Amino acid sequence: MRAKIFADRAFPIGEIDPRLYGSFIEHLGRAVYGGIYEPDHPTADEEGFRKDVLDLVKKLGVPIVRYPGGNFVSGYRWEDGTGDKAKRPRRAELAWNSIETNQVGIDEFQSWAKKADSQVMMAVNLGTGTPREAGDLVEYCNFPGGTELSDRRRKNGFEKPFGIRTWCLGNEMDGPWQIGHKTAEEYGRAACEAAKIMKLADPSIEVIACGSSHSGMPTFGTWEMEVLDRCYEQVDYLSLHSYYGNRSNDTAEYLGCCRDMDEFIRSVEAICDAMKAVKRSDKTMYLSFDEWNVWFHSNDADKQIAPWQVAPPLLEDIYTFEDALVVGCLLITLLKHADRVKIACLAQLVNVIAPIMTENGGKAWAQTIFWPFLQASAHARGKAMLTRVECPSCQAGKYGEMPSVEAIAVENGGELTVLAVNRSLEEDAELEPDLRGWGNLTLLEHSRLYCDDLKAVNTAADPERVKPEAGDGKTLRRHSWNLLRYRFEQ
Ligand code: AHR
């Protein structure tokens, strides 16, 4: 088949906020302990952070990392993770039935984030926590000094404020599984008051209100309306979360799941704009897709894990090559909405549904999904362009008829990047780029992720089974992810 990809320099979608390439570290499983932090590991630095993991995180290019949860945050007392490590409490962690030692908290995490060339996106507890405790955390982190909380931070060894700019007002508060689950009315009021107090403590911060945990929630739609009705003027972003999986082993359908993400984003945009009109507001609500990924491989294994362990191996999905194609399609979808989706977090970063895996005391390696994320993060920064693909369509099960090729063009400095997934399971596509307004284009690179075996995985023993290879600049192979980079004359 042929795939004609059209983009015109006169038709940008919008600037890509670098935070679109965010990720997430939760106190869950081995994300923190055995993931980013393992003082006895041969590569551990003076603070106990694994340098092998830091190297992979830096390679991935993650400008912001959400922390410390997730469901974890709704039972969390942030003060447990500050000050003298020897005095920190061990607690029963109720969201994931684990033991939390509190050897890592915000004191350590903000230091890790600097080493990872990243910023912290901090979540406050609005499940069992109060708006005042949320304000206290902002004061501890960001107030220069001269108050009990800011001086406590200084006594703990951090003279300079942490300067955390992006804050989540709780996590998935619409979910009955959430500790301290609230109705939309209860949450909307709590979010409003927390945002007010937090912004009084530091007016430079931005805050994100919780939207729905996924588009299938029974309250989806009304939750957003009722929450925004109560806090529209106080908040800056509304969150979306979504995880996908090939549960029925139907790859053609699975490769179409980005349609769900696309429709979810469109619906939330419409709700936000309706509320803007109702409020007669000048403010446009931006979106934070702060949990997205593939998550299904580990569901059964997790049911066998005994409770009350420190850092049990929970949510350790081993990703296949086809999962990497899905992650590629989801990245393209986020970029198509770069005008409204300003923050997105691949959930999560290390060991827990993550692009990076580790062995305790051993190796660290890149899973299949590492590669499309890395290539987009490295080359699809700048301006997302309206992109149209003319190609035959294919059937994607419950998602219906979809184009065989999914693509987005991005103007990035003096380069034009095209990201494309050929979701056809049978046919290669001959690429016909019709990229207008950039003058002469010179192909700099065609890199692709391709494997005959859709179920191929990377492991500690074979960490490079799935990795990018050079393409010919003309062919989008069947079931492949592609990065094409062109130079243009300014
Ligand atoms: O990322 C894993 C979990 O998924 C998070 O803790 C929660 O917010 C979501 O349901």
Q: What is the CATH number of the domain that holds 408?
A: 2.60.40.1180
Tokens 């082993």 correspond to what residue?
A: 249
Q: Are residues 362 and 450 in the same domain?
A: no
Give the nearest ligand 1 atom to 177 CA.
Answer: 10
State the DSSP code for 361.
T
In this prediction, residue 285 carries a pLDDT of 98
pLDDT digits (tens, 9 = 90+) for 258-295: 999 999 999 999 999 999 999 999 999 999 999 999 99
Q: In angstroms, what is the span from residue 32 Cα to ligand 1's centroid? A: 15
Per-chain mean pLDDT for the chain: 98
- Say how many C-beta atoms besides its own lie within 10 A of residue 437's C-beta: 13
Q: What is d(CA 441, CA 412) in angstroms, rounded to the nearest whole number? A: 13
Tokens 């309250």 identify what position?
A: 219
CA distance 398 to 380: 30
Question: Do both 376 and 393 map to the same domain?
Answer: no
Give the end of a domain, one of 326, 352, 381: 381
E-state strands within 170-227: 206-209
What is the identity of the amino acid at 417? T
- In this predicted structure, what is the pLDDT of residue 489? 84
AA letter at 458: N
Domain limit, last residue, from 381, 412, 427:
381
Q: What is the atom index within ligand 1 of the atom nearest the CA of 70?
A: 6
CA of 299 to the centre of ligand 1 (A): 13
Query: Are 175 and 61 within one domain?
Result: yes
Ligand 1 site residues (CB inside 6 A) read 26, 69-71, 171-172, 213, 291, 347-348
CA–CA separation, 63 vs 61, rounded Å? Answer: 6
* pLDDT, average across residues 87-102: 98
In a domain, 24, yes or no: yes
CA 353–ligand 1 middle distance (angstroms): 10
**333 and 413 fall within a common domain:** no
pLDDT tier, 467 (very low <50, low <70, confident <90, very high otherwise) = very high
Cα–Cα dist 223/170, whole Å? 15
Task: Give the confidence band of 144 by pLDDT, cuts at 50, 70, 90.
Answer: very high
Sheet of strand 91-93, all strands in order from the earlier edge strand to the far edge = 91-93, 98-100, 309-310
Given pLDDT bands bounded at 50, 70 and 90, which one contains residue 222? very high
Which of 25, 65, 172, 240 to mutate for ligand 1's pocket (most ligand atoms within 8 Å of CB)? 172
Ligand 1 geometric centre to CA of 71 (Å): 6
Domain annotation covers residue 11: no
CATH code: domain of residue 289: 3.20.20.80
Atom of ligand 1 nearest to the CA of 243: 4
Nearest CA to ligand 1 atom 5: 70
Residue nearest to atom 2 of ligand 1 (CA): 70
Q: Are residues 115 and 254 in the same domain?
A: yes
Catalytic residue check, 253 = no
In the chain, the number of structural domains is 2
Binned at pLDDT 50, 70 and 90, residue 66 comes out as very high
Q: What is the pLDDT of residues 105-129, one digit of tens each?
A: 999 999 999 999 999 999 999 999 9
Does a structural domain hold residue 12? no
Closest atom of ligand 1 to 315 CA is: 2
At a CB cut-off of 8 Å and minimum separation 6, what does 224 contact? 211, 212, 238, 268, 271, 272, 275
Give me the mean pLDDT over the 24-42 stretch: 98
CB 20 within 8 A of CB 419: no
Residue 64 lies inside a defined structural domain of this protein: yes
Question: In the structure encoding, which two tokens stand for residue 25, read together?
Answer: 């570290």
In a domain, 133, yes or no: yes
Q: What is the mean pLDDT of residues 7-33?
A: 98
Residue 291 domain-assigned? Answer: yes
Phi-psi region for residue 184, left (φ > 0), alpha (ψ -120 to 50) or beta? Answer: alpha
Q: Let me know whether 89 and 120 are in one domain.
A: yes
pLDDT reported for residue 317: 98
| pLDDT at residue 189 is higher than 80 | yes
Residue ranges making up the domain that contains 160: 17-381
Residue nearest to atom 6 of ligand 1 (CA): 70
Q: Separation of 387 CA from ligand 1 center, angstroms?
A: 32
The residue written with tokens 């690179």 in the block is: 445
User: Is the distance from CB of 102 to CB of 93 less than 8 angstroms?
Assistant: no
Does one domain contain both 54 and 190? yes
Our mutation pick for probing the ligand 1 site, out of 124, 239, 241, 289, counting the most ligand atoms within 8 A of Cβ, is: 241
pLDDT of residue 73: 98
Is residue 442 domain-shared with residue 361, that is, in the same domain? Answer: no
Q: What is the pLDDT averaged over residues 65-71?
A: 98
Asked if the structure places residue 459 within a domain, the reply is: yes
Would you state the structure tokens that stand for residue 62, as one six-digit string? 């993650």
Catalytic residue among 139, 291, 316, 406: 291
Q: Is the pLDDT of residue 157 over 90?
A: yes
pLDDT band at 461 (very low <50, low <70, confident <90, very high): very high
CA of 388 to the centre of ligand 1 (A): 34
107 and 99 Cβ atoms separated by less than 8 Å:
no
Mean pLDDT of the region 137-153: 98
Q: How far apart are CA 426 and CA 136, in angstroms?
A: 57
- Do 367 and 402 lie in one domain? The reply is no
Q: Is residue 38 domain-shared with residue 186, that is, in the same domain?
A: yes
Q: What is the pLDDT of residues 292-324, one digit of tens each?
A: 999 999 999 999 999 999 999 999 999 999 999
Distance CA 435, CA 418 (A): 10
CA dist 322 and 481 (Å) reads 10
Give the pLDDT band of residue 423 (cuts 50, 70, 90): very high
CA of 40 to the centre of ligand 1 (A): 28
Ligand 1 probe mutation, 171, 181, 348, most atoms within 8 A of CB: 171
| DSSP designation for 188 | H
Report how far apart, in Å, the C-alpha atoms of 8 and of each of 460, 473, 488 are: 44, 20, 13
Residue 204 lies in a domain: yes
Positions of E strands within 260-396: 286-294, 309-310, 341-346, 356-358, 364-366, 383-390, 393-395
Task: Say whether pLDDT at 490 is over 80.
Answer: no
CA of 43 to the centre of ligand 1 (A): 29
Ligand 1 atom nearest residue 353's Cα = 1
What Rg, from alpha-carbon coordinates, does the chain have? Answer: 22
Residue 25's φ and ψ, nearest 5 degrees, are -125, 120
First to last CA, the chain: 33
Shared domain for 303 and 452, answered yes or no, is no
Q: Of 100, 139, 172, 193, which residue is the catalytic one?
A: 172
Active site residue 291: yes
User: Are 4 and 432 in contact, with CB atoms under 8 Å apart?
Assistant: yes
Atom of ligand 1 nearest to the CA of 347: 1
Assess contact for 288 and 121: CB atoms under 8 A: no
Q: Are residues 355 and 411 in the same domain?
A: no
- Final residue belonging to a domain, choices 333, 351, 381: 381
Mutation test residue for ligand 1: of 32, 71, 350, the one with most atoms within 8 Å of CB? 71
Look up residue 105 and give its two tokens. 């908290």
